[in-house]
Amino acid sequence: MKHLLLLSIFLLCATLSAGAQQRVVMGDEQTSDYFPLLEGKRVAIFSNHTGMVGDKHLLDVLLENGFNVTAIFSPEHGFRGKAGAGEHVASTVDEKTGVPILSLYDGKVGKPSATSMNKFDLLVVDIQDVGLRYYTYYASMCRLMDACAEHGKQMLILDRPNPNGHYVDGPILDMKYKSAVGWLPIPTVHGMTLGELALMVNGEGWLPKGRKCDVTVIPCRNYTHRTLYRLPVPPSPNLPNMKAVYLYPSLCYFEATPVSLGRGTELPFQVYGHPSMKGCDFSFTPRSVPAAKNPPLRDKLCHGVNLSNRSDEEILRKGIDLSYLIDAYQRLNMGDKFFTPFFEKLMGVDYVRKMIEEGKSADEIKATWQDDVERFKAQRKPYLLYSE
């Protein structure tokens, strides 16, 4: 009886503690902090379908409050989040408001043109990132930082939590592999918000020619790097739920192999397979869908592994888990034909492919980048806005 009483008291305390946890308040909700910064300025926004302030989009909130929004920049997948991965997002207009949507790439070296940059005074960034070096939203922000610095424009970042912000994992990018899927010398999972990352870009001198962007960050409230923040809106079409967001750091490497990771199915980034994989008790067939119009292995029956039933706790505990990649490599037995050159761009270093081909385990490979993880944690510390 005593034990039952103690258990009841413990459960009550746990319930009260959970209830006492305050809701994370996004940067864009703190209008009294940033509305004054927009007064009298021509405002552009860098956002997409994730830029919601409650049940309204930031664009609508700004227009309803009389601000002069002159332009929109949208990343991969487009302003309403409907384009497929890598699909070109052209200059157009937002159908609802008529505000021009400008291309991120209509100028030199993948930046907006001078014509586009001259349309505004201040750029507001409000977009949900997922904290991966190969997720392209942060790279778009960095290019915009460079363009703003070059043209004397201000940037205001309305910060959002990082759903993978509770850990750091993976090797630091060797900059000889710099690309659209690897823009900065950071680990695969960097554990920072976009606001923190922008401060680090300035502080570490990572913009070209020593330029610095005039950046102001409105931080989230009630958020730390121990907060497991669940996204209210899928950040992109092929990351439809938190399971996919948590598995993304481990499964994205299949993009550089013949293996499907579920694009064109109901479980993108939650399965992997190939028509020639043997000994599997799960099968799927990628189809053409709006989020993946021509997915790898389209209309072919693939045999593989379903990870969608793995618990979040197990996935989070392992962090980057190369055992899935190693499993497919061994089952297909294709040797050096398994990897494309894109693999090094995703992985950021050249030694991981070699170690897999040598038969090393996922844990052995993971141990090789632990020094990178610790070095980066120390390097990023001055720029953190939230406690670890």
Residues facing residue 25 across a β-bridge: 221
Q: Where are the domains of the chain?
A: 27-230, 242-349
Residues 6+ apart with CB under 8 A from 115: none
**Residue 198 exposure: Cα atoms within 13 Å on the Cβ side:** 32
**Cα–Cα distance, 289 to 277 (Å, whole number):** 24
**Cα–Cα distance, 229 to 226 (Å, whole number):** 9
Tokens of 262: 């579920």
**Cα–Cα distance, 89 to 221 (Å, whole number):** 33
Asked if 286 contacts 258 with a C-beta cutoff of 8 angstroms, the reply is no
Q: Which of 18, 17, 22 lies closest to 220, judged by CA?
A: 22
pLDDT (tens digit per residue) in 95-149: 888 999 998 887 766 789 999 999 999 999 999 999 999 999 999 999 999 999 9
What is the SS3 assignment for 106? coil
pLDDT (tens digit per residue) in 276-293: 998 899 999 999 998 899
Q: Which of 77, 207, 79 lies closest to 142, judged by CA?
A: 207
How many CB atoms neighbour CB 300 within 10 A? 14
Tokens of 388: 């670890």
pLDDT at res. 93: 86
The strand order across the sheet containing 302-306 reads 271-274, 302-306, 282-284
Per-residue pLDDT of the chain (388 residues; tens, 9 = 90+): 434 343 343 333 433 344 346 999 999 999 999 999 999 999 999 999 999 999 999 999 999 999 999 999 988 556 865 544 444 445 588 888 899 999 888 776 678 999 999 999 999 999 999 999 999 999 999 999 999 999 999 999 999 999 999 999 999 999 999 999 999 999 999 999 999 999 999 999 999 999 999 999 999 999 999 999 999 999 988 999 999 999 999 999 999 999 999 999 999 999 999 999 988 999 999 999 988 999 999 999 999 999 999 999 999 999 999 999 999 999 999 998 999 999 999 999 999 999 999 999 999 999 999 999 999 999 999 999 999 9
Asked if 325 contacts 347 with a C-beta cutoff of 8 angstroms, the reply is no
- Fold (CATH) for 27-230: Rossmann fold (3.40.50)
Tokens of 269: 């980034």
**Cα–Cα distance, 227 to 220 (Å, whole number):** 12
pTM for this entry = 0.91
Residue 213: what residue type?
Answer: C
How many CB atoms neighbour CB 60 within 10 A? 17
